[in-house]
Amino acid sequence: MSENYYRRNFLFVLAMMIVPSALATLAAQGPPASPLSVNLLKDGVYWTEGGSGGNTGFIVGKEGVIVFDAKTTPDSAKEVLAAIAKITPSWPQSPRSRRNP
């Protein structure tokens, strides 16, 4: 068998290994995230859609804000925090997580 035959088969096998992994990587990235939008559901109860990750909800009360179902990336979470800050002045500049004792 000639050297060309082996070279051609080697390149074919190499391409068959690289192409599927490249396609899988592209498919895993998915489409870009849609812009974040905030929807008022009821007095003080909001729902956000868009951004990276799932939908997020938050409730604005007299003593603070409760956020649930956080986003999946830090950048998208920052978008939600910025949206909350536009809605209520009671939202702290550097939010802290509180837990019941």
Task: Spell out the domain ranges in the chain.
Answer: 1-30, 37-87
Question: Which helix (H) or strand (E) segment is 60 a member of?
Answer: strand 56-60
Q: Specify whether the CB–CB gap between 80 and 92 falls below 8 A.
A: no
- Check residue 27 and give its pLDDT: 55
Say what the pTM is: 0.58
Give residue-wise pLDDT tens across range 11-61.
776 666 676 766 666 555 566 668 889 999 999 999 998 888 778 889 988
Q: Specify whether the CB–CB gap between 36 and 46 falls below 8 A.
A: no
- Check residue 76 and give its pLDDT: 84
- Check residue 24 and give its pLDDT: 63
Token digits of residue 27: 């498919």
User: By C-alpha distance, which of 54, 56, 62 is closest to 88?
Assistant: 62
37 DSSP 8-state letter: E
- Check residue 101 and give its pLDDT: 45
